[in-house]
Chains A and B, each alone.
Chain A
Amino acid sequence: MATARVVIVGAGPAGVRCAETLLAAGIKPILIDENRRDGGQIYRRQPEGFTRDYATLYGREAAKAQDLHQSFDRLREAIDYRPDTLVWNLTPGQLCCVSQGRHRTVDYDALILCTGATDRLMPIEGWHLAGTYSLGGAQIALKNQAVSIGHRVVFMGSGPLLYLVASQYVKAGAEVAAVLDTSPLSLRLKALPKLLARPGVLFTGIKLLAQLYRAKVAVHLGIKPLQVLGDASQGVMGVRFTTGSGRTATVQADAVALGYHLRPETQLGDLAGCAMAFDQASSQWWLATDDAGRTSVKGVYAAGDGAKIRGADAAEHAGRLVALALLEDLQQPVSSALRDGHQQALAVMDQFRLGLAQAFPWPSEQAKALPDSAIVCRCEMISAGELRRTVNEKGACEVNRAKAFSRVGMGRCQGRYCAHAGAEVIAAAAGVQVQEVGRQRGQAPVKPLSMLIEEVAP
């Protein structure tokens, strides 16, 4: 099947490396991305015409970013690249795409999902106030528009992105009021053996922390978030939390960046009918794939953070590896040394991933402690109390059932920001493990679809 129509969704590190590998083997893929430019999330390229240099934009990752962009520039004319194009739905063998208000279908024999990840959030009382951002949102504001989300910013949550974005803010000259991490030092020490799988990355992390200390940023570990302070007219005015030693403390700020690491973008795989698996380490559902990225549905593959959150370096390996898997499935010769090399590299990164999950765990216990008045679903403004009532009074102990009764997860974010926390609230109220309450089923459109769209021929 030399003429197989291969479509890759996502032009980040995974998608670009995948396209490159396929092209080298004589397959010309279609590469679709909703962004105007290639690079994906971490190596997001600045708009054409902007001229900030690589070091300014990507810091330590400048060389990798430049390498990926140059690889892409070499591919660009040889593949069928479709930027600014959102895949909003799919049916077997066909993607539904919308670009600048025009709707087109794209047929495929093989589909490779390199759709990346988004912020993973846990609600807190008051997080619906203006001035509350996700860590990713805070980073994008800085990277894309070179603006800070506030004059005095608190960073709260857990995970590597917490320190990374805080230090990027420090570097940009913003005032960082505090970094509040829910994970205690002890877990980091316990996770050390696994984190040592990638000593270089670990060292970078430690340097980030040192930078924060040097800038005299208050860093608190093992905290419990209590409340984002403020009101509807003034927005965020600060954060209240319990310190690691059990004291209640307050930090004043006019903006908060929140986040607990990342969650994979699995909607398209879910819509394609791919089986999902529950990952104990990170306590979340993702696409069930084999080592090389084959999903349970023939012809559908996944790589990068959209399959497994392992970071950008892993995404490059996974993108190449998934291309090799597809080539094998198309009966093309594949170098087993190459394949094994990627697999070994990924095994190491997987070890590191487990270390991160252990060092910066998802704070499921926070969902239990969430006051009834706290909003869980910001799109629909549904509180924890309302959600609990659907469990206690209406017997909805399954996520989709609770969504039907309470509307949690029914808003325009399609549950991206609240489904994980919602599941924890439901599980806690029902007294079961979170994996027993299921996961929110994917529903099209993957992102809101304008009603002005016009259909055009494929």
Chain B
Amino acid sequence: MTVQKTDVVIVGGGLMGSAAAFFLRRRGQSVILLERDQIGQYASGVNFGNVRRQGRFLGQLALANRSWALWKRLPELIDDDLEFIPSGHMRVCYREDEIAELEAYAAAPEAAQLDLRIYRGAELLQRFGFLGPDVKGGSYAPHDGHANPRLAAPAFARAATRLGARIEERTEVADVQKVGGDFHVTTTDGRQFQSAQLLITAGAWGQKLSAQFGEPVPLDTHGPQMAVTEPVPYALPTVIGVYTKIPEEVIYFRQIPRGNIVIGGGYRSKPDMLNRRAYVEPRSILNQVSQMRRLLPGVGNLNIIRVWSGIEGYLPDSLPVMGPSGTVDGLFYAFGFCGHGFQLGPGVGDVMAELLSTGSTSTPIAPFSITRFALPA
């Protein structure tokens, strides 16, 4: 059996792994990306498609801004159109006291680049009069938007391939270890790969690999619930989401130029990790339907034509695991993006490529270090 050697092996071909492969090739590293099923088949290919910065943990906005700049350059960067539309994102609330929280967020120095603007009263009515009367205010992010998740990871993977990356689909990594100065990666069908550096971008399965290096993390899995209506004339370019602390009230939607309204939010399901499927719970669709009628009363006349879910990895503090290993040299992680990794994808790929090839990154990622979960020695 021949062992395939390369500078970097990437485990997991979601958006994170695919974008990292692309940016590593741009920095001249040789790359082999191993994906258990098909590129972008899991969370990266089925998510809601929100390319939203506002509302994120403030310490993540530098990364989100870096990613946003890449989203803006995308067709030229990867020679593919991911249907990214920076059409604006509106974060609304149902209670007066929540407006103050939106204001505080908008005023934070970290959020400066977002150009957030608070709407309430007459201004709100004038611009967002189509929203339900329960909506009391909102924070508008003019540069955020949305894109087509089904296209994203495969497009990055194709671009990486064009630059010389090797991508192996239907290749599941079973065992990873460091022997001497090199990582030895063995697949379930017995193939072997060796590399100087190893990047784990295995999404909701990342902790299985980090645990092999003695770095377990308390990752949990959930399936956010999505639905889409039949097409109606394109009239709602702004992505709209509800800011609330009541889980049932969480609802967000976007209309695509084709006319369909994509809806997400509310209860999440528990994925079936054995068969690797996340199902839709009927009660979450019923909840979405009633929450949507509250948020966008005109929507009642439409029909839902399809519902779906996907498997996402969550950490207790709602922050990803991203950065170098705390124990093994040359080992890096980027997984567990807690339901908001789609927007970050290009930025994560770029930052990880920078980190692997230069040893550091200009974008602060310390809050995401895996060492925050290290057991006391």
Residues of A within 8 A of B (CB): 89, 91, 96, 103, 105, 380, 394, 398, 401, 404-405, 407, 410-412, 414, 443-445, 448-453, 455
Contact = CB atoms under 8 A, between A and B. Distances in A.
A414 B279 CA distance: 17
Given A443-B308, A449-B304, A105 B299 contact: no
Given A451-B302, A453-B289, A443 B154 contact: no
B230 interface: yes
A112 B137 CA distance: 50
Given A89-B282, A410-B306, A443-B308, A452 B154 contact: no
B236 to A, nearest CB: 15
Contact of A448 (B258, B289, B305): B305
Interface string B6-42: 0000000000000000000000000000000010000
Contacts of A412: 230, 303, 305
B304 A448 contact: yes
Contact of A105 (B150, B282, B308): B282
B304 A451 contact: yes
B252 to A, nearest CB: 16
Given A405-B150, A451-B229, A451-B299, A414 B305 contact: yes
B300 A451 contact: yes
Nearest to A453: B289
Contacts of A410: 306
Contact of B154 (A91, A394, A414, A448): A394
Interface residues of B, number: 28
Among the interface residues A405, A414, A449, A451, which one has the most CB atoms of the partner chain B within 10 A?
A451
A105 B286 CA distance: 12
A452 B299 CA distance: 9
Interface of B: 38, 45, 150-151, 154, 158, 229-230, 258, 279-282, 285-286, 289, 292-293, 299-308
Given A412-B303, A451-B300, 8 more contacts: A89-B282, A410-B306, A414-B305, A444-B285, A444-B307, A448-B303, A449-B304, A451-B299
A450 B302 CA distance: 6
Contact of A394 (B158, B229, B307): B158
A89 B280 CA distance: 10
Among the interface residues B45, B281, B285, B307, which one has the most CB atoms of the partner chain A within 10 A?
B285
Contacts of B299: 451
Contact of A411 (B285, B302, B305): B305
Nearest to B80: A394
B151 A449 contact: no
Q: Say whether chain A's binding surface is mostly helix, strand, loop, or mixed.
A: loop
11 contacts: A89-B282, A89-B285, A103-B286, A405-B154, A445-B306, A445-B307, A449-B285, A449-B303, A450-B304, A451-B299, A451-B300
A71 to B, nearest CB: 33
Q: Which A-B residue pairs are the 8 nearest by beta carbons?
A: A448-B303, A404-B150, A449-B304, A96-B282, A412-B305, A452-B300, A451-B289, A448-B305
Contacts of A455: 286
Contacts of B285: 89, 444, 449
A98 to B, nearest CB: 10
A402 to B, nearest CB: 11
Nearest to A404: B150
Nearest to A94: B282
B304 A445 contact: yes
Nearest to A271: B279
Contacts of A404: 45, 150
Contact of A91 (B45, B158, B279, B306): B279
A133 to B, nearest CB: 20
Contact of A414 (B45, B289, B306): B306
A453 B280 CA distance: 17
Nearest to A444: B307
Contact of A401 (B38, B293, B302): B38
Contacts of B308: 443
A378 to B, nearest CB: 13
A91 B282 contact: yes
Contacts of A401: 38
A227 to B, nearest CB: 26
Contacts of B258: 380, 407
Nearest to B289: A451
A453 B45 contact: no
B131 to A, nearest CB: 16
Contacts of B150: 404-405
A451 B228 CA distance: 11
B307 A443 contact: yes
A452 B303 CA distance: 8
A76 B119 CA distance: 59
Contacts of B151: 405
A282 B250 CA distance: 47
Nearest to A96: B282
A344 B303 CA distance: 45
Contacts of A89: 280, 282, 285, 307
A394 B285 CA distance: 32
A453 B293 CA distance: 10
B37 to A, nearest CB: 10
A451 B307 contact: no
B158 A445 contact: no
Contacts of B45: 404
A452 B286 contact: no
Among the interface residues A103, A401, A449, A455, which one has the most CB atoms of the partner chain B within 10 A?
A449
Contacts of B158: 394
A58 B300 CA distance: 39
